[in-house]
Structure 1
Amino acid sequence: MKFLLIEDHALYRRGLRFLLEQLPGEHQFLESDTCEDAFSKALVEQDIDLILLDLALPGMTGLDGLLRLRGLCPKTPIVLLSANENARLIVDGMRRGAQGFIPKSSSPEVMTAALQLILAGGTYVPLEGVMPGTPSPNESRSLTKRQREVLALIAQDYSNKEIATQLGMRVNTVRVHVAAILDALNVDNRVDAARKAAVLGLESDAG
């Protein structure tokens, strides 16, 4: 497997390599300490299996780098690494196309398990950093198709009026759906609903 490690601290890159070398198979590593260098490598290397991107890089924010890398490597999983575990940062990263967010404070065991999950086609976020409590995979099944569409637009910061226009509904009907969504997800407000939508993978259901 081919990995692209984008991290400006050589010691941390070495630690990442050590963890990845424990995974089954033969591995090749590409390393960059800036986003610009990573872009150059991504243009040449078209068969990268996984990208690990530090969000605190010199010269460019990691989220901007994520958007560029997503364009260069549309099918390659991108994992964000950060010492900042702010919930909004996690949600923003997942909305922009990341397949995972791994805090730098994670233990080697947690990081290895997260990387294995992502390589198997899953997504990983530190649930305790996004929502209080761990959401059940079955929570999304309690929402109707229409409620999932409303939730997807809530996750994109649409107002009730904008949702009504987008889905061809009355504003009062949207309010009823929003109340039902908050109840079904066991959250108190739209911000927490949007965070849980990201965790459950519902933020793109509106198409």
Structure 2
Amino acid sequence: MKFLLIEDHALYRRGLLFLLEQLPGEHQFLESDNCEDAISKASVHPDISLILLDLALPGMNGLDGLLRLRSLCPTTPIVLLSANDNSRLIVDGMRRGAQGFIPKSSSPEVMTAALQVVLAGGTYVPLQGVLRDSPSLNESRSLTGRQREVLALIARDYSNKEIAMQLGMRVNTVRVHVAAILDALNVANRVEAARMAAALGLSSDAR
């Protein structure tokens, strides 16, 4: 696997390298201490398996860099690293396409487990208590039980037709629920809604 580490503190970057080296398999590492250099590396390495992106970087900030990296590497999982685990920052990062958010205060064991979850195709965010004050979480509580079930199936990449079959509904009714969900969560599309569902712990609501 090929990893791109974007972190301006060399000591912390060395620690990340040590953790990644413990993962099974053979690995190749690319390192950058700013977003501009990372974007250049990503443009010539389309086979990157995972990107670890610090949000507090000199020059272009991590959230702006996330958008650029997501456009260059649309299928590569990107995990955000930050000393700030503010809920708004986490939700903003997930909306922009991150598959994970790991606070820098996490233990090596937690960080390793989080990386394994993301590499297996999952999404990792801190425990839901971190998101307690998130506006999006509060908005999600306003969803009806049926809408939460629809959202959970969206998170599993079900189509409207598949959701209708699963929940015994008409396809047009599913469309209405989907529109209401996107509006409640303040997201633009199903992909963002799915990421939000995973980030907020709603994907387990499907029956």
Letter aligned with residue 45 of structure 2: E
Structure 2 contact 79–98 (Cα < 8 Å) conserved: yes
Match runs of 1:70-149 below 5 Å: 70-127=70-127, 128-131=129-132, 142-144=145-147, 145=150, 146-149=176-179
Could you say if the C-alpha distance between residues 131 and 10 of structure 1 is closer, same or farther in structure 2, counting changes exceeding 3 Å?
same
CA distance in 2, matches of 1:63, 1:108: 24
Aligned to 2:40: 40
Aligned CA RMSD, in angstroms, stands at: 2.6
How far residue 40 of structure 1 moved from its aligned partner, in angstroms, is 0.6
How far residue 61 of structure 1 moved from its aligned partner, in angstroms, is 1.2
Structure 2 contact 6–53 (Cα < 8 Å) conserved: yes
Structure 1 contact 131–196 (Cα < 8 Å) conserved: no
Structure 1 contact 5–52 (Cα < 8 Å) conserved: yes
CA distance in 2, matches of 1:130, 1:143: 23
* TM value normalised by structure 1: 0.71
Match runs of 1:55-70 below 5 Å: 55-70=55-70
Structure 1 contact 130–196 (Cα < 8 Å) conserved: no
Structure 1 contact 3–29 (Cα < 8 Å) conserved: yes
Aligned to 1:13: 13
Letter aligned with residue 182 of structure 2: A
CA distance in 2, matches of 1:34, 1:9: 10
Aligned to 1:153: 183
Structure 1: tracts of 5 or more residues without a match: 159-194, 203-207
Q: Give identity over the alignment, percent.
A: 71
Could you say if the C-alpha distance between residues 117 and 198 of structure 1 is closer, same or farther in structure 2, counting changes exceeding 3 Å?
closer
Moved over 3 A (4+): 139-142, 144-149, 195-198
How far residue 22 of structure 1 moved from its aligned partner, in angstroms, is 0.6
Structure 1 contact 95–198 (Cα < 8 Å) conserved: no
Structure 2: tracts of 5 or more residues without a match: 151-175, 189-195
Aligned to 1:3: 3
Structure 1 contact 151–197 (Cα < 8 Å) conserved: no
Aligned to 2:163: none
* TM value normalised by structure 2: 0.71
